[in-house]
Structures are given as C-alpha cells and as structure tokens.
Amino acid sequence: MRISATAAAASAVLGGALVLGLTAVPAAQAAPAADAAACTTDAFGIAGKYGEFVLGDDVHTPDAEGAVAVGGNADFRGGFSAANELTAAEVDALPGRASLVVRGDLLNGSSVTAVMKGNAVVGGKVSDRALEMHSGTFSKNAGLIDFDAEFGKLRSYSAALAKEPATGGTEVKLSGSKLTLEGGNTTRNIFEVTAEQLEGAKDVYLKVPAGATAIVNVSGTTYDMAKAGTTGFFLSGGQDYVLDDKLQSASDGKVRARLLWNFPDATAVTKSSQAAWPGSVLAPKAHLELGTGAPVNGSVWVASLHGSGGAETHHFPFTGCLPETGETPPPATPTPGNTPGTTPPVTGTPSTPASTPPASGTPSGSPSESAPATPAPSQSTTPGGKDGDLASTGSSGTIPLAIGTVVVLAAGAGLTVAARRRSKRA
C-alpha cells in the first residue's frame, strides 16, 4: 500500500511523540535533587584568620606557626615567634596585614618576640627589647580588632552549633578507655559528646569520609585531658586510622583540617598530654591550658591561654563546611553493619566564664568580656526547595511533559486519519 507524504509526516510526528513520551519523563525523574546542606567556610570571620585568637591574656612560648591576636596582654618573656607558616595570601587577608596583634602590653623581658611574616600591632607598652620584624612593620594601635565584639559573635555561634542535632547515622562509643566517633555523611557529621566521656578516653578514634566536616559538640564546664592520660588521637578518612602528628595525618590532612571541637559552656579546657590534638578548638568562654607537652594541630579561639615547651599551635587552618544558623545536611544512610549509636543530650545552662588564674609575672587587668549575643533563631529548610519531595524524586517536571506528550499524540492521530480519507478519495 502506498503511503502519501502527508501520512508519512503524520507517522513521523506520532513516532516523535512516542519518543518524547518515553525519554522526556525518565530524564525528569533522573534530575539530581537540590543540595539542602547550607554551608559556610567563613563562620568565624576575623577570628578564623588567626591560629591563636585570645580575648584576655596569652602567656605562651616558644611559638605559634600561624597568626596571633591577643585582646589582653601578651607575655612572651620565654621567647616567642609567630606567623612562620603563613602564605602571602594569608598575610594579605589579615586586618592591616598584622600577624601579631596585641591590644594590651607586650612583655618580652630579655627574650625576643620574632614576627616572621606580616606586621605587628600593639596597643600598650612593648617592654625591654623591641620586636624582631622579619618582613613587616611595627605600629601602635589598640583598636585594630574589636575583640569584645568578635568574641560576642564566637560565643553566639558556639552556642548555636551546640543546639544542632547529632547527624543521623553518627556513632559515639566509649569502650573501656577507647572513644570512637564515626559518621558517614559526606558533607558534615555532628557528634554529641559529654566532657566526662572525653575525659575517660585514653585513645580517641574519629572516622568520617575524607573531605567531610566533623563537629564534636562537647557539653560540660570543664575538660581535662590529663584525667585519662590521653596518649593519641587517631583519624580516618575511610581507610586505616592514622595517629595524628604534624608530619602525618589521615587522608593527607583532609580530616584534621575539617575537624572542630566545640566547647560552648566550658570555662576551663586542659590539654596536659604528650598527644598532639588534631583539629581546631572553639572554647570562647574558657581558659586553655596547653601545658608543656604536644601541640594543637589547628586553630584555637579561647578566652585566655597558657602554654610552654612543646605546647605550640601549628598552622592548620580550619576549612570545614559549617552550618548556617540552624541548618544541617540531610541524615546519611547508615552503611551495612554500622548501627547508629545514641549519645546523651547536651545539658546544663551556659555559665559565666571564670576569671583566669594569672601565670607568674603575668599582668592583671585584661579587658572585660561583653555579654554574649543572643543566638539567631534556628531555621530549617525542606530538601529540594519549595517543591518539597517532588524536587528530590524528579517528579516535579513529569506532569507538564506528560500533558504535552498527550497533545502531540492526539495531533499525530488526527493527521493520520485525514491522510487516509484523502487517499480513499483519490
């Protein structure tokens, strides 16, 4: 039977409609869901640019590899150096390119305070020997950084982080003197731990996917690493555990760089241990006692600080994905054989920071703390945006495409009937 050109065209339209109906709908269903995880990498603002950011007095020797900002007096009379590991871009990002900022007095004694990269800014007196500047300049200015305002933000954000629920699928397990923290979310894992659990750990094991952020919210007003005699922090990015040290870390440092220890209510955090402490420490109400042992491999944001000997701060800036106010990523699906554990909820009310006992020879009269800002109210978002579940399944575009397919099919059928009638008349 001969088919006219009109009929052939109608058949082509019909075939195209069938192809459209078969291919367009699955394509819409396969569309990726929108990422519901809010993420900020600059949650700490100015404080995040400094390896040591201290509201009150900082009594420290022998060095800090990153930038140092002190809101009180800096007592470096045992000898001190700062900023040796900063890159040029990191120096340029600092306020006034100042890698050493002291709002109060800088006490050198008979020792040298060397600023290896960047400038130095001091508000009060510089005693005895002058600063040793290697590539920058020195100036007097007590107002370069508003420490009271910045710590108001830090306290508020620390409290907001503590209210974030533990990520689905995370596990916290204390077995004897071994504490294991494990999470499978590829974006962010939030753990809830009590200071008592942490103080009972001689060894701490943390495992998250390489590149994922880990936030350990620690409840309680005091934490003393010496109680258990903690000897090691072991990290894993999905492979074998690695004992963290300056020259070795899991997944080439990706786990350490995105690890944050949050102590929202602590007034005293003591790291008297020979174990390097990986990750950054946010304890904006606390005095941090670094002791004389191993370093912190990350940044510290604390109310006051004391440390000597090997108790340095190493330059491993925090680069994790932190939640915007109240927003967390969707729960991760637990992997087979990994049963999610439960952890005690954060209890207690925020306490007023205790006064820091001054070290021998440390001047008193640190600037007073301002009242903490009220945390912004939590907000939640529906995965996939305003379309809700439709966006996550890909079905939001299915109905319009299906209707369009029906219309094209009807038009194709009409053309076919008309072509056959003309064929019979001929």
Inform me whether the pLDDT recorded for 330 exceeds 50: no
> What tens digit of pLDDT does each residue of 83-137 get?
999 999 999 999 999 999 999 999 998 899 999 999 999 999 997 677 999 999 9
Which one, of 65, 321, 335, 297, lies nearest residue 207 by Cα?
335
By three-state DSSP, how is residue 395 classified? Answer: helix
The encoded tokens of residue 129 equal 């020997």
Q: Which residue has the higher pLDDT, 235 or 377?
A: 235
* The predicted structure's pLDDT at residue 221: 98
* The predicted structure's pLDDT at residue 127: 79
Distance CA 279, CA 300 (A): 9
pTM for this predicted structure = 0.70
Helices (H), 2-114: 5-29, 88-92
> What tens digit of pLDDT does each residue of 23-46 get?
333 333 332 222 335 788 789 999
> What tens digit of pLDDT does each residue of 224-249 get?
998 989 999 999 999 999 999 999 99
Give me the chain's average pLDDT, please: 77
Residue ranges per structural domain of the chain: 5-35+394-425, 46-307
> What tens digit of pLDDT does each residue of 384-424 get?
333 333 233 333 343 333 334 333 334 444 444 344 444 44
Q: Phi and psi dihedrals of 46, rounded to 5?
A: -60, -40
